[in-house]
Amino acid sequence: MARNEELVNAILKGDRNNVQTIMQKAIEQKQDVVQLLDGSMIPAMREIGERFSRNEVYVPEMLIAARAMQAGLTLIEPILAQSNHKSLGKIAVGTVKGDLHDIGKNLVAIMLKGAGYEVLDLGTNCSVDKYAEAVNAGVQIVMCSALLTTTMTYMEEVVKHFKDTPEVKVVIGGAPVTQKYADSIGAHAYGRDANEAVKIVENIIGASA
């Protein structure tokens, strides 16, 4: 698949204006935007995610890359909707009840969108009911985020709520959350960062396909 290096670099640098210019030009020239998405935009977000995992970049760099990616996605979304480009799955992301922090959750959301998933962003302060509504709307994976040690305990409530519906997978993450904690509350998986969150989703969707 052809890779547009200029587009990849613009996303890696978080150069939103340049991403918009490249994508606008591509649309006007009737280029294959699905190929641009799959061959350049998604690999660029994967690359920034990998750099983040290796501590080569940090949250600010990730955020502006995601912002640039979003700007490109917004331009091509109408075209994607009209084409045969189908979402790989429907995922809900939300920060748990009592917690208003959303950076981590937002990063996961944009990385998932960039990877081709339909994301239902539930926002912050999400109760079990809110996650349940998302499941009723067709979500296959519920992703819970928390920044505070005092709020992460609510994740257990979410896991308990879905324990009798094994087709719904609860994935958790956030600064104070660990694999050990995920195991202790019976969560399906724990994602260390946004990059890993995407890999977990790919594994779950891949296993159920």
Partner 1 sequence: MQNLDLKSRVQHTYEKGERLVVPLVGMPGLKMIGSTIKLGQQNYRIHAEALQALIEHFAPDIVFPLMDLSVEANAIGRYTLFPIDDTATVPHVAFHLDHVDMLPKIDISADTRALGYAKVIELLRHSTDDTVFRAAYVTGPYTLAALILGAQEAAQSIILEPQGLHALTEYCNGIIKDYTQLLIEAGAQIICVLEPSASMLGPDHFLDFSGNYVKELADLCSQKGIATVYHICGNTMHLIENMVKSGVNGLSLDSPSSGMDLLKVMQQVPENVLVMGNLNPVGKIHNGSPEEVQAEVLEVLKSVDSYPNFILSTGCDLPKNTPEKNIHAFMHAGRNYRIANN
CB of 185 or CB of 204, closer to partner 1: 185
Closer CB to partner 1, residue 67 or residue 199? 67
C-beta separation of 106 from 65 below 8 A: no
Q: What is the CA radius of gyration of the chain?
A: 17
Q: How far is the CB of 63 from partner 1 (least distance, A)?
A: 5
Q: Does 96 bind partner 1 (CB under 8 A)?
A: no
Cα separation of 140 and 125, whole Å? 20
Q: Give the Cα separation of 95 and 74 in Å (integer).
A: 24
Residue with smaller CB distance to partner 1, 90 or 101:
101
CA-CA-CA-CA dihedral for 128, 133, 137, 138, to nearest 10: 20
Of 27, 39, 43, 67, the one binding partner 1 (CB under 8 A) is: 67
With CB under 8 A as the contact rule, the residue among 38, 47, 61, 118 that binds partner 1 is: 61
Shortest gap between Cβ of 95 and partner 1 (angstroms)?
Answer: 12
CB of 9 to partner 1, least distance (A): 15
Q: Which of 42, 44, 64, 93 binds partner 1 (CB under 8 A)?
A: 64
Binding status of residue 98 toward partner 1 by CB under 8 A: yes
C-alpha angle with apex 130: 105 to 100, nearest 5 degrees? 40
* 79's tokens: 């075209």
- Asked if residue 123 binds partner 1 (CB under 8 A), the reply is no
Asked if 51 is part of the footprint of partner 1 (rule: CB under 8 A), the reply reads no
Is 60 an interacting residue with respect to partner 1 (CB under 8 A)? yes
At CA 185, angle to CA 127 and CA 97, rounded to 5?
A: 20
CA 67 to centroid of chain Cα atoms? 13
Q: By C-beta, is 14 or 116 nearer to partner 1?
A: 14
Cα of 51 vs its chain's centroid, Å = 16
Helix, strand, coil share of the chain (percent; to 5): 55, 10, 30
Of 136-195, binders to partner 1 (CB under 8 A) are 149-150, 152-153, 175-176, 178, 180-181
Q: Which residues bind partner 1 (CB under 8 A)?
A: 14, 55, 57-61, 63-64, 67, 98, 100-103, 106, 149-150, 152-153, 175-176, 178, 180-181
